[in-house]
Structures are given as structure tokens and as C-alpha cells.
Structure 1
Amino acid sequence: MNKIKLLGVLAFIGLGMAVWVQQRHIVSIKKERDRYQMNSNALLSEMKEWRIDSTTMATDVKTLRLTVDEMERYRAEDLVKIKQMGVKIKNLKAAAKHQLEVNADIKASVRDSIVIRDTVPVIVKSVSMITPYLQLSGIIEKDSLIGKIHLPVTLRQAVWIEYKRRWLFWKKVVAIHQTITSDNPHVEIKYSEYIIIQK
């Protein structure tokens, strides 16, 4: 009789462990399914752009969540650059990449100037354009423009979470967004991605 009770207890413990292992496996599969759904949604969604004020543009894109193996498979070129920056991949939490484009109309006045070359004054044409968002200066010599252009720009990035189905303390993450702003009206954000690395 004791053997039967012992076998019953062991069978109950074994059954409980099997249920616990299966439950953990189901939770893991659900997390992986949700991650794939969010990644698919992020890849298929359009990049949203809007103007905050006369000089500031904003861009919103959804965030990808990749494992280190997926980063190595799909973003190997980015990982090479990250390693060149001295970052260990095992310590990497997130990676962002932005592609900017500068489109500025130039309207600069051309003036006569004097440049000293080997103690000899030389008459050349000079070009200058100074605005808060673009500084251009140079000289025209022998049908060539030699000068410098400077476009100061500040990018600000905010990462935020979009929730669904709030009920008391329960909420589900639908997507993770990143919003980037550029304070220079001549600088346009053409592409942006933010990847969270999951261990």
C-alpha cells in the first residue's frame, strides 16, 4: 500500500513538473510570437513625418526587436561598424541608424576680395552666405569654387512604448516607437531604424 501511495505521489509530482515545463514552453512561444508580430508590424509600417514648427521636422518609426543571432544574420554590416566603435556585442542593448539628406538652396552674393599669396595681393571673387542653419564661405579662382559649407544640426531621439488593452494594472505592449527630430530645416531624415537586442 505504501508503494502505491509513493508511486501516486511521484506520479503527481512528475505530472506537476510536466505541466510546469509545458506552461513555461507555452509562455516562451507566446513571447516569441508577440515579438515576431511586432517586428512584422514595424517592418510593414510606414515612416511618419510631420513638421513641429518652422524649423523642426519629426519622424516616427517603430522599433525592431532582434536577438544577437538575428543581428548577425540580418545586420552583419551594422555589427561590423559597432565592433569598430569598440562596443562588445555581448554588452549591446540597442542599435540605431539614421540616414539624413541635406537639401538647401544657396543664394550667396559674389564680391571682389583680395588674397595675399607669397606677399603678393591677388584679386579674387568671394562668396558668403551666413544663416542660422547654413554657413557658406569661399573664393572663386580660375573657374573653381574653393570654400567651406557648414550645416549645424541637432537630432533628438525619444523611444516610447505603445500599449493596448489597459485594465487596471494589466497592459500589453503593441509596439515600441522612436521619434527623431531635426532642428535644421535643410536636413531631412530619410531613413531611421532602432533595434532592441534581446538576449
Structure 2
Amino acid sequence: MNRWLGIAIAVLLCVSSALYLRNKALQSDNNRLQGNQTALLEKATYYKTEAGKSAASVQRLELSYSELKGKYKEMCQTADELGIKVKRLKAASTTATETEVKVITQVRDSIVYRYGTIDTVKSFSWHDAWVNILGELKGRDVSLNVVSQDTIVQIVHRVPKKFLFFRWGCKAIRQEIVSTNPHTRITYTEYIELK
């Protein structure tokens, strides 16, 4: 009888520990899904820094590999094109920017030597620290060369939980993005971390 009681207790302990571990896994997945729901319902925040640079803030999505493959096929295709297996991804980020420059400059006459002949064209140029524009007007034709330089800085940080003056733990993971080009405006951003 004691032998059967010992076996029953051992089985109950094994079942209890398995159920406890399963419960912990479900709680962890539930917390992940709640964070994802908050991230999807919250829009990205677009703002200007104190220096006047365009910036954006977005909360992290934490996805499994199967969720990434199902919902973000373009991102998976880009990883494949780069020769990176999706299973090896740690995180992925997408940012879209738009550069708008209003140019006011003067047109001047220039002499150009082409194919053994001398030709006159009207040319113009404009530049600042981020954008360089060169152009030529020949009759009704316009030739433009526009070069825009930009650096996008991405910072990923933890947002702590708060109660009164106390901060602890991790409420969310956020990505802050700043464009150094003042002509550039961030139009879209998304940050995905893989589980």
C-alpha cells in the first residue's frame, strides 16, 4: 500500500510541476500578446527634437517566427534576399522617410564643350549641409542631379513600470528614431522583436 501511495504522490508531483510550467508559459505568452495589442492599438508618435530634427517613437511588437512569416512576408522576403534565414533574426525594423526641399536659386549662362562643339546652357546649383542640387536648362529640357544625405539614429530602450515615485521592472520596449536631415520627415516606423 505504501508503495502505491508513493507512486501516486510521485505522479501527482510530476503532473503538478508540468501544469505549473505550462501555466507559466501561458502567462508569459498572455503578457506578450497584451503588449502586442497595446503596440498595435497605439499609433507611432511623431515629434521634433529640441534641435528641430524629425523623430518618431513606437512600441515594440514581439512576434514568433510563424507570426512573422504569416503577417510580414515582405520582411521575410527581404531577409531571404540578403541571405539571412528568418530563424536567425533577432529583431527587424522598418522606417519610411520623406525628404522635401524648397529651392530658390538663380539661373546663369554657362559654356559647355561637347563633342567638339561649344554650346551654351543655363545652369543652376544649390546646396546645404544635407542636400546638393545641380541642374541644367537647355531649351525645353531640364537635367537635375539631386543628392540628399541622411542618417537615421535608432535607439531601443525599456519603459519602466511606475507607481507614484517608484519605477521598477519593464512595462514596454520602445524604439526612438531620429533623422539628422532637417528636410526629412519620418512618415512610418515599426519595430518587431522575435521571441
Tell me whether the two structures share a fold, i.e. TM-score over 0.5: yes
Aligned to 2:191: 194
CA RMSD of aligned residues (A): 1.6
Q: Secondary structure at the match of 1:109?
A: coil
| 1:87 matched to 2:105 | no
Alignment of 1:142-161 (within 5 A): 142-161=139-158
| 1:117 matched to 2:118 | no
Q: Note the C-alpha offset of 1:157.
A: 0.4
Q: Which runs of 5+ in 2 are unaligned?
A: none
1:76 corresponds, among 68, 73, 76, to 73
Change (3 A) 1:17 1:90: same
Aligned to 2:17: 20
Q: Note the C-alpha offset of 1:96.
A: 0.7
**1:144 and 1:75 mapped to 2: Cα distance?**
43
Q: Note the C-alpha offset of 1:184.
A: 0.6
Aligned to 2:133: 136
The number of equivalent residue pairs is 192
Q: Which runs of 5+ in 1 are unaligned?
A: none
- Give 1:123's aligned amino acid: T
Aligned to 2:29: 32
**1:89 and 1:33 mapped to 2: Cα distance?**
24
Alignment of 1:53-64 (within 5 A): 53-64=50-61
Judge which range, 185-194 or 170-179, deviates more.
170-179
**1:195 and 1:20 mapped to 2: Cα distance?**
33
- Give 1:84's aligned amino acid: E
Change (3 A) 1:172 1:54: closer
Cα deviations across residues 19-78 of structure 1 (Å, max 9, x unaligned)?
A: 101111111111111111111111111211222234422210011011110011000121
Q: Secondary structure at the match of 1:36?
A: helix
Cα deviations across residues 96-145 of structure 1 (Å, max 9, x unaligned)?
A: 11111111111122111111111211110101001112110011112122
TM-score normalised according to structure 1 size: 0.91
* % identical equivalent positions: 27
